[in-house]
Amino acid sequence: MTKEKYNWDLESLLGNKSLEDLFKQWYQTELKLVALVNSFYKTKANFKKWLSLTKETEAIGNRLLMYVMNHNAEELDNPQWIAWQQKIVHVGNELALKTSNWTNLVLENEAKIKSYLKDSDIKDWTREFDLIFKERKHILSKKAELLMTKVSPATTGVNDIFTTLTDSDLKFDDAIDAKGKPHKILTISDAIQLLKEPKDRTLRRNAWISYNKAFNSVKNTLTKTLYYNYLRANKLAQIRNYKNYIDAALENEEVNEKILLAAYKHVASFKSAYNEYRKHRLNLIKKIHHITELEPWDLSLDLSAKKIKVTIEQAKQEVVKALAPLGTNYLKVVNKAFKENWISWLPKAHKTTGAYSIDNTYGLNKYYILMNFDNSSDAVSTIAHEMGHSVCSYYLNHAQTIYTSTDMFVGEVPSILNEMLLNFYWLKKYQNNKTMKLHVLENMLSTFFGCTTRQILFSKFEWEANKLINEGKPFTVSDVERLYLEARKTYEGVSKKALAKINKYPYCLANTGILRIPHFYMNNFYVYKYAIGQVIALVIANEIYNGNKTMLNNYFKFLKAGTSLPPLEIIKLTGIDLNKGDVYQQALMIVNKLIKEFKQIKK
Ligand SMILES: [Zn+2]
């Protein structure tokens, strides 16, 4: 009974068919596309047929894929799902090869296609095709494209090297505790766990040293890996007529450099707020854990131990109450999700860890969520977060016919916003409960600065490193140390005390700590988006929480937009203009209020 009640209804994806039949149906529609690929542009009728077939295939393909992938996530040990997944991927690749000439044909027939798109029943497709036409200047001659395809396997692999080095080759010393007993550190998360050990400072110190020493011992290798990684990414981008790799990433996001530089500038103005928060946090650590002088190995200690326990039914009620400011229509969708079994709630053996709300939602009626609910208050935040994604999928699938996905740039706003509404609700509910109040405020503030100050610091380092490399200047370990320190000074501030210790052992081991950040090795310039998402979500959540009806109306336009507009235009639907700095200052004002409340909590 409970099992059914708290499980998701994946069977409705099949629509009374067997999985095999759904697969056949998908394959047949794909074959229709293949048959049309060399003539889709020849007549208007063909072109329209192509467009409707594309969406039809997408809808069936999504149902098929979501059925198999979500079953697999629940039963990682069941080989039938892996086999199905491999089958779909394999057949999908074969079909993709057969239609691979499509983009070329689109580019060759631009004028014809543009004339077709004047018809009112298909003119909404214009943006989709304009994005392809815009790519023209980055597409090379046929011969060169063939060469690029041939060498492409040899131009990847840096991320593989990084994870192989840090996950398997890197060896950590045992961390010795106060009684002289060694503790094995096999992975990075083992070390992080030991740093949270409240009772044994010697153990924390040794774990900190072991962790930093291991990374420090490969700092030359990591610097070179990063250098060649960026060099390659920039050369490849330049071959495709981009200024550099960062420019390519921004252009693909339809964002300009101005937005990035504005984020760098405005997040720097969070520095004093960050330090006020940090100072009080450190004072609380000192008092709670009875430490007179804090060291780097004390900073990961928890502030609160006692947490509340929540049942699934209570979690549902909390989410509904917290999201009430979004209005009855929004809550109707939330209740629909609970009642119609969109959610797989419970943890079990061989189930994927963590939580997600599905992508690939076109053609679906339920926007599934995977949870591993553990009765903690954090799990309530998680369901509020994932519900933000799923309700967004609901709205945009009911509003859009073509642009039914979300861009990563704005995709996290609806989910972060729900978490924030939950936090505002809890702050009020628990105003006389010191433990919960501390937990909520610490969570809000650490998340805010973690996504803004910290991520922008990383992004600025990456930006400066690429600048050096593109100017043909050397990029050595001492450059890494210098750029990291400069970025820390700009965004976090470095105290005189810390500066005095910076070259002393063991503190100096952390000077190249920035080389540990995995995303630098992934060729994906994106973390600045975390900061923008966080700032926007906080400002919108605060307005909605305080009853701003205009913002609420605007927010629904935002939820329904999908990818029908460039991300910056979608953000503008809420009345926020990222070209101006106001939104950052608004966010800072809200955060300053939270810090004030945080500072009132004395141990
Ligand atoms: Zn999310």
Specify the pLDDT at position 531: 95
Distance 429 CA to ligand 1 centre (A): 25
pLDDT of res. 523: 83
Ligand 1: centre distance to CA 415 (Å):
6
* Å from CA of 391 to ligand 1 middle: 12
User: How far is CA 198 from each of CA 194, 205, 297, 305, rounded to the nearest angstrom?
Assistant: 9, 12, 11, 10
Q: Ligand 1 centre and the CA of 537: distance in Å?
A: 12
**CA neighbours closer than 13 Å in the CB half-sphere of residue 179:** 3
The pLDDT value given to residue 305: 63
pLDDT digit string, tens, across residues 250-281: 999 999 999 999 999 999 999 999 999 999 99
Residue of 97 and 462 predicted with greater confidence: 462
Position 211 scores a pLDDT of 95
Task: State the average pLDDT over residues 470-491.
Answer: 97
Residue type, 234: N
Stretch among 200-204, 269-273, 350-354 having the lowest mean pLDDT: 350-354
pLDDT at 181: 97
Residue 285 Cα to ligand 1 midpoint, Å, equals: 30
User: What is the band of 348 on the pLDDT scale with cuts at 50, 70, 90?
Assistant: very high
Ligand 1 centroid, distance to 383 Cα (angstroms): 10
Question: Mind listing the pLDDT tens digit for each residue in 489-524?
Answer: 999 999 999 999 999 999 999 999 999 999 999 888
Q: Are 559 and 580 in contact (CB under 8 A)?
A: no
| pLDDT over 50 at 1, yes or no | no
| pLDDT band per the 50, 70, 90 thresholds, residue 581 | confident
Structure token digits, residue 497: 């005390």
Residue 340: the pLDDT is 96
Per residue in 14-35, pLDDT (tens digit) is 999 999 999 999 999 999 999 9
Radius of gyration of the chain (CA): 26
What is the residue-averaged pLDDT of the chain?
94
- What's at 65, amino acid-wise? L
Give the model's confidence band at 302: pLDDT under 50 very low, under 70 low, under 90 confident, else very high: confident
The DSSP code for 434 is: H
Task: Give 332 Cα–ligand 1 centroid separation in angstroms.
Answer: 21
pLDDT (0 to 100) of residue 306: 63
pLDDT number for residue 100: 85
pLDDT for 558-576, tens place per residue? Answer: 999 999 999 999 999 999 9
Residues annotated as catalytic (active site), given as ranges: 386
Q: Is the pLDDT of residue 238 over 50?
A: yes
CA 419 / ligand 1 centre spacing (Å):
10
Percent of the chain with pLDDT over 90: 89
Peptide bond into 325 cis (omega under 30): no
Q: What is the pLDDT of residue 145?
A: 86
Is 603 a residue whose pLDDT tops 80?
no
What's the burial of 587, exposed, middle or buried (CB within 10 Å: 0-12/13-18/19+)?
buried
**What is the CA angle 354-355-361, rounded to 5?**
145
Consecutive H or E run containing 370? strand 369-370
Question: Which of 150-154, 170-174, 335-339, 467-471 shows the lowest per-residue confidence on average (mean pLDDT)?
Answer: 150-154
Residue 388 alpha carbon to ligand 1 centre in Å:
8
pLDDT, tens digit (0-9, with 9 covering 90-100), for 134-174: 999 999 988 998 888 888 888 888 988 999 998 889 999 99
Distance 382 CA to ligand 1 centre (A): 9
pLDDT-wise least confident of 48-62, 82-96, 413-427 = 82-96
pLDDT confidence of residue 3: 61
Q: What tokens appear for 461 in the block? A: 């380092």
Q: Are strands 343-344 and 369-370 parallel, antiparallel or unpaired?
A: parallel
Q: Is residue 343 within 8 Å of 368, Cβ to Cβ?
A: yes
As to burial, measured by CB atoms within 10 angstroms (0-12 exposed, 13-18 middle, 19+ buried), residue 49 is middle
pLDDT computed for residue 602 by the predictor: 84
Q: Alpha-carbon distance 289 to 298, whole Å? A: 9
Instruction: Quickly state the pLDDT bin for 4 (edges 50, 70, 90).
Output: confident
Alpha-carbon gap, residue 251 to 502, rounded angstroms: 39
Tell me how far the alpha carbon of residue 467 lies from the centroid of ligand 1, in angstroms.
31
Residue 590 has pLDDT above 90, yes or no: yes
Measured in Å, residue 38 CA sits from the centre of ligand 1 at: 39
Give the per-residue pLDDT at 597. Answer: 96
